[in-house]
Amino acid sequence: MPAPAQQSVGPGPGPRPARQRRLLPILLVVFVVQQVDRNILNVMIEPLKREFALTDGQLGLLAGTAFGTAYLVAGLPLGRLADRTNRRNLLAFLLGTWSLLTAASAFCQSFAFLVLARFGLGTAESGLQPTAMSMLSDVYPPERRATVAGMIYGAAMFGGFVSFVGGGFVVAAYGWRAGFLIAGIPGLVLAACFMLLVHEPQRPDLPASGSGLKARGTFAADLLALFRDRVLGPVYLAIFLCVLVASATTAWGMSLLIRYHGLPIRDAAVAVALASTLCGTIGPPLAGWIADRAGFRTEGAKLLIPAATATTCGLGAWGFANSSTVTTAIAALCVMGLMNQAHSGITVATMSRLAPAHVRALAFSLYSVVSSAGLALGPWCVGLLSDGLSSAKPLASAIAFLAPSSLLSGGLFILAARRLAPPRPA
């Protein structure tokens, strides 16, 4: 008797238990909280510069490198742990840890302690994406994963909006220490709720199919197989380049508007929140919905959407840096924000199809690591360039210099699309 075809992984389209239906809405809130805790520091760059007499290079280190380096160190081990342990318990612990570190940052008395707190924050947050995406991939079927992942990343962008708007008002009224304290408290409550309301989804027994990628069992071999995969390899590099540009532009967006367009800190925070983050809540779910509903003839064709969005993201960042008026600057930032994370839902869905189930969290963790490499380098590189350039607007020139990297990102997505063959017949 022939074996049944294995064309998809995960649950069927039937109804899910109530405890599984709760997973997505709760994770949406978790990602909002995560982004508030991550991005609240971007609101404080100018106050921290004044209080601790920091250079732009030091601020770039604090805003991006300390946080992103922690992802590089801890992301892959935590992804492996998520493949081997109870993901509900792991995620609740990580959420409580980074929220506590955010609140504790309010009491830092030196630049060094702020760097340590950001490193710890990044370490804890590095386990969120692989753990959450692994759980969702076990609950939702392949044909819905791009939409679900897009919703998650849309929620994350909304969290950035909350951090800029809420944080801008709090920091302007009460100072940067109050901003850290208020940002950290909700996550502590949410960690307890997550333990009470969420159950660990059952892991599927069937392997994924699509690219021929085979996991060998050891950590190093599985990691190498993911990175060397002919489809996922270019995707990972494309994600790095896109995040490199977007993170640098977002991290320095307020400073550019304050320095060159004369906006006060509160107005600059609202402008960045509306343009860079609120617009970003639309891009990921819309792109994911299009990928799942547009009836593409092959899986590879879906990757042409990230190719277009990554390229447009870079054009928006370049336009923001070179705008001569505040109106055109904000308009360009809106374009960048809309496209910033639009690739995320589709690329995560691609990974969930190609990576075997028992290394799926590791695949998502590698996504986090390459994203964090971009996050670590982007703001720091712009800060160093800004300190070293002698132009009239060194910060704007630094962002404009980095922006074309997104064009290469778009080309890598096209390469991955061409390499992803149609699914093999059963």
CB burial readout 109-127, b (16+ within 10 A) else e? eebeebbebbbbbbbbbbb
Write down the pLDDT at residue 167.
Answer: 85
* End-to-end Cα separation, the chain, in angstroms: 15
- Whether 12 is in a domain gets the answer no
Phi-psi region of 393 (alpha: psi -120 to 50; beta: other; left: phi over 0): beta
32: nearest Cα among 130, 161, 222, 139: 161
Distance CA 38, CA 132 (A): 17
| pLDDT exceeds cutoff 60 at 293 | yes
Cα–Cα distances (Å) from 202 to 11, 19, 85, 357, in that order, read 10, 12, 12, 11
Q: Is the dihedral of CA 267, 270, 272, 275 positive or negative?
A: negative
Total domains in the chain come to: 1
- 91-95, 226-230, 292-296, 383-387: range with lowest mean pLDDT: 292-296
pTM above 0.95, yes or no: no
Range list of β-strands (E), 63-142: none
Quick: pLDDT tens for 129-141.
889 988 998 888 8
In a domain, 1, yes or no: no
Residues recorded for the chain:
426
In a domain, 7, yes or no: no
Residue 111 pLDDT exceeds 50: yes
Q: Which of 125-129, 142-146, 291-295 has the lowest mean pLDDT?
A: 291-295
Residue partners of 309: CB distance under 8 A and separation at least 6: 283, 287, 339, 342, 343
- CA–CA dist 412, 321 (Å, integer): 24
Q: What is the pLDDT of residues 237-261, one digit of tens each?
A: 999 999 999 989 988 898 999 999 9
Within-domain flag for 272:
yes
Query: Is the residue at 414 inside a domain?
Result: yes
Specify the range with the lowest mean pLDDT, choosing from 95-104, 363-372, 394-403, 410-419.
Answer: 363-372
The domain spanning residue 30 has which CATH number? 1.20.1250.20
Q: Report residue 87 as tokens.
A: 């993901």
Q: Is the pLDDT of residue 321 over 70?
A: yes
Does residue 107 sit within a domain? Answer: yes
In a domain, 425, yes or no: no
Domain that residue 391 falls in: 19-419
Question: Is residue 334 in a domain?
Answer: yes
Of the CA atoms within 13 Å of residue 390, those in its CB half-sphere come to 0
